[in-house]
Chains A and B, each alone.
Chain A
Amino acid sequence: MKGRLKRLNWGYLGSLTVSVLLAFAIGAVILLIAGFDPLEAYGAMVQGAFSNARHIGDFLEYAMVLCLCGLACVLGSRVGIFNVGGEGQLLLGAIAACQVGVWLTGLSAWIVIPAAALAAMAVGGIYALIPGWLKVKVKVNEVITTIMLNTVAASLCQYLAKGPWKNPNKNMVAATAQLDPRYWFGTVIPNSSLSTAIFAAAVITFLTWYVMQKTARGFEMRLTGHNPRFAFFSGIKTDRLVIACMVISGAMCGLVGMFRVYGAEHLYRSSISNQYYFEGLTVAMIAGYQPVTVIFLSFFFAILKIGAQGMELSAGVPNQIYLIIQTVIIFFMAAESGIFASLRAGAQRRKARADIRRKEGADHA
C-alpha cells in the first residue's frame, strides 16, 4: 500500500506543481498585457496575505471554510454522489443558526451555541436528504436537483432576511437581527475573521479524514463509490450509506454557515457566503477528492484569495487575477490525466517496439 500511494502521490504532486507554475506564468502574461509588473503584483499578493496579523487571520478563516466545504464534497463523492448543493445548505444552516440565537436571546451561551449548531446541522442535513433520497430511490440526478435547490435556498434566505426575520435597524436592507455579543465565538486574532470556530473545524476535519481513510465504514464508502453494484452484492447497505453521507455532507455545510455567523458576521446577510461552497468544491476537485490534499490546498487557495485582495489595495491590480490563476490550475489538472495517459501509452508503445527489434536482432545474430 505504501509503495503504491507514494507512486500515485508523486505523479499527482508533479502535475499539481506544473499546473500551478503554468497558471502563475499565464497570469504573469496577462498582467504584462494589462500593463502591470507581474513580479511586483505577485510580491504584493504575498504581502497581502502575510503582511499583518489581520490578513493571516482572514486567510486562516477562509481556509477553514474551504476545507470544510471541500471535505463535505469529498464525503459525497466518496460514495458516488456529487453534492453541488452545499451553498444552499450552508445558507440555510447560517440563517437557522442565527435565528435560533435571536430567539433564545437571554439564555446561557452553553445552551444557545449547541442549539444553534444542532439547528444548522439539522437544516443543512435535511436539505441534503431531499436530493439524496431522490437519487437513491428514484434515480434522479443529484447534480441537477442540488443545483436547483441552491437557488431555492438562496431565495428563501433572502426573503426571510428581508421579510419576517428582517433586522430591526432600518438601514440594513437584507439582514437578520444581530446576535447578542455573548454568543459570539471568541476571536483568535483580533480584528480578523478568525474565531475559535477553527478549533471545532480542526476536530471535524480530523474526524472526516479518519472515518474515510482508516475505518471499516470508510472502506465501505470507498467500495460504494467505486462500484455500487459490487458493494451491494457484497452485502453493504449502499442505499442507506449514500443517503447518510449526503446528509452528513449537508450537515457539515450547515455548520460552516453557523461558523460564519457566530464567528465572523454575527448576523445573517448575503456576505455569509459568496459562493464559498463552490470554491470548496473546486478545491476538492483539484485535490482529486483526497482529504489530506484538500486540507493543504485549502490553505493555498485561501492565501491566494486574501493575497489578491491585498494586492488590489496596494498595487492596484484587480483581484480577478486570482480567478484566472485558479481557473488555469483547474484546466491543467483536468487535462492532466489525459495528457499523462497519452504520454505513458506512447512510451509503452515505443518500448514494446524496441523489444521486438532487440529480439529480432538477437534472432538474426
Chain B
Amino acid sequence: MDDIAVRFEHVSMAFPGVLANDDVTLDIRRGEVFALVGENGAGKSTLMNVLYGINTPTDGKVFIKGREMTAFHPRAAISMGVGMVHQHFMLVPSFTVAQNIVLSQEPRRGRVFFASAAARRKTRELVERYGLEVDPDLPVEELSVGLQQRVEILKTLYRGAEILILDEPTAVLTPQETDELFAVIRRVVREQGMTVIIITHKLYEVMAISDRVGVMRKGRLVGVKDTSQVDERMLSSMMVGRPVLYDSLEKTGVPGEELIRVEDLSVRDSRGLPAVKGLSLSVRAGEILGIATIEGNGQSELIEAITGMRRAESGRVILRGRDATGLDPGAIRAIGLAHVPEDRLATGVSREDTIRDNLLTGRHREARFNRFGFHQRVSTIERYAAELYEKFDIRGAGTDALAGELSGGNMQKVVIAREFSFDAPVLIVAQPTRGVDVGAIEFIHSQIIARRNQGCAILLCSADLDEVFRLSDRIVTIYEGRITGEFTGPFSKEEIGWYMTGSRREKEAVQ
C-alpha cells in the first residue's frame, strides 16, 4: 500500500443521462508520471475531478496514500495533498505572482493583515526549491501562458500538493514551452518524489513524459500499460476501440488564382486595443494556408475581420477579386465564403433551435425550400437536413432534437456540414476539431482536404499545431498581430515554434 499514491476502487460517476465513469479501478504509484488518455467524453476529467473533490462519485471508493476520501470537496482533497491545474487557469490577472500563489492560504500579520513580504519570501523559497523560475513581483497578466501555468503549479506546491493533476496542460503551449513543462515535471518527480497525473489526448506526449498510461473509453478504463511497452498506434486503437487508419491525406492539383487577399489589415479587439497590426496575406485556389499562433495574438480578430463579424480599422480584404472590406457577413457570404467559426457555441450554432434548422440556416431563402418564395416547404427541408445528417454522420436524437443537446463533436459536425454544403470557393476554418473525437477528426480532415483538392482557397487556424502541420500547404506564424514568418513544407516544428513566440526578431538582434 505504501507505494500507492491514489487508488480508485470501483468508482462510478453518473450524470443525468450519462455514466461518465463506469466501475473504474486503478492504482497510481507514488513517484510516477501517469498519463490518462481517451477521446473527449471518455471520462478522464470526470475521474480526476473525483480525485480533486469536485465530483462526488455515485459509487465506489477513493484512497489517497492509503486513506479513504470521505468528503468530496476540493478543500478536503487539497488537505490530503492533491493539487490540480485546470485547462483554464484560475488566476487573478491583476495580482502578482506571489499574491496568486498564496491566495486562499495567505500569510497574515496579526491574523488580519496580509503579510506581503512573507508572501514574497515564501514564493521565492518555492521557486528556488523546485527550480521553477518566475518573478514573484510581476502581475500575472504580464506573463506568457507557459509562465502562468508555472504559477498554477507553484500554487499547488505551496498548498503542499504531493499528487499533481494536470488537465491537458500542453493545449495552450508552444512546442518550446511544452519541452520546458516536461522538464519541470521530470524535476518535481525525480527530486521531490511527486506523483503527476497528466490528462492528454496527444499521444506522442504520453510517449515522451509518462511512465505508465491508462486508456479510457466511454467511461471505462480499458487498459493500463507501461509506456515502454506501447506505441502510439496501439494507444489510439485502444482509445477508439478499433484500429485507426491515419491515411496520409492525398493532396492533388496545383494552386490556382488568388481568392483571398488581405492587405495591410489592422483590427482592434473588443477592448479597443490593436489586435491585428498591418497584416497582409494571400491564399490561392487549391491551397490551404495555415496560421500557426498562440491564442490571443490577433488570429481571432483577423478571421472576424475577413468574415465581416468585426470591423477593420484600416486595410483591405479582397475575396475573389472583389473588395469585401466592411461588408456584413451576409454580403461576404454572397461573394462565396463559408466560415467555420472558432467558437461554435456562441457563433456556430443556435442551441435552442433544432438540428434541422441549424443545417438549413443560410440556405433557408433558396427557392427549393420555399413555396411562392416565402412559405417554408417543411418536407423538402426535412429531406435536405436528413441527408446532411446522414452524410456527416451526426450522432444525436435525430434532426428534430435541439442542437444544444448534441455533444461538442457532433455539434461541430453540424457546423461543418452546413458550412461545407455551401460549396463556397473561399473557406475560413477556425479550430475545426476542437473538442472533437479522434474518429471524427479523421473525417473532418478528409473533408477539408477534399475541398482543397476541388479548388477551394482555405484559411486554416487551429490551436492544435499538429493539425496545422498536417493540413497546410503553407504556414504563416503570427505573433502579436503581425506575421513573423512564412513557411512551405516540409515544416520544422522547432523552427515554427520559435517564430510563433516572436523570437525571430530576438534571433536577428543576436546575429
Contact = CB atoms under 8 A, between A and B. Distances in A.
Interface of A: 1, 3-4, 214-217, 219-220, 222-223, 226-227, 229-237, 344-345, 348-349, 352-353, 355-356, 359-360, 363
Contact of B351 (A226, A344, A349, A360): A226
A221 to B, nearest CB: 12
B356 interface: yes
Nearest to A5: B400
B400 A226 contact: no
Contact of B353 (A222, A229, A235, A360): A222
Contact of A1 (B14, B22, B307, B356): B356
Contact of B370 (A216, A227, A231, A344): A216
Interface stretch (B71-79, B246-254, B291-299, B325-333): B325-333
A352 B59 CA distance: 11
Contacts of A235: 328-331, 333-334, 362
Contacts of A353: 14, 58-59
B438 to A, nearest CB: 26
Given A234-B361, A237-B330, A226 B370 contact: no
Contact of B374 (A4, A216, A222): A216
B393 interface: no
Contacts of B401: 4
Contact of B17 (A215, A223, A352): A352
Contacts of B333: 234-235
A345 B16 contact: yes
19 contacts: A4-B400, A215-B374, A215-B376, A216-B376, A220-B364, A222-B353, A223-B353, A226-B351, A233-B307, A233-B329, A233-B341, A234-B329, A234-B362, A235-B330, A236-B330, A352-B18, A352-B58, A356-B58, A359-B23
Sorted nearest first, the 9 A-B pairs with minimum C-beta distance are A235-B330, A352-B14, A348-B16, A227-B350, A226-B352, A4-B400, A226-B350, A235-B333, A234-B361
Please report whether the interface of chain A is mostly helix, strand, loop or mixed according to DSSP.
helix
A352 B16 contact: yes
B309 interface: yes
B17 A233 contact: no
B447 interface: no
A194 B43 CA distance: 64
B88 interface: no
B464 interface: no
A242 to B, nearest CB: 14
Given A223-B361, A230-B348, A352 B328 contact: no
A275 to B, nearest CB: 31
B321 to A, nearest CB: 20
Given A235-B331, A348-B16, 17 more contacts: A1-B382, A214-B375, A214-B376, A216-B364, A216-B376, A222-B353, A223-B353, A226-B352, A227-B346, A227-B352, A230-B348, A230-B350, A232-B309, A232-B328, A232-B329, A234-B329, A352-B18
Nearest to A230: B350
B349 A227 contact: yes
Contact of B365 (A216, A222, A349): A216
B230 to A, nearest CB: 27
Nearest to A350: B14
Interface in B360-383: 360-362, 364-365, 369-370, 374-376, 378, 382
Nearest to A223: B350
A229 to B, nearest CB: 5
Contacts of A236: 330
A349 B18 CA distance: 9
A277 B198 CA distance: 59
B195 interface: no
A227 B401 CA distance: 17
A203 B333 CA distance: 37
B19 interface: yes
A220 B347 CA distance: 15
B482 interface: no
Of listed A1, A223, A229, A234, residue having the most chain B CB within 10 A: A234
Nearest to B366: A216
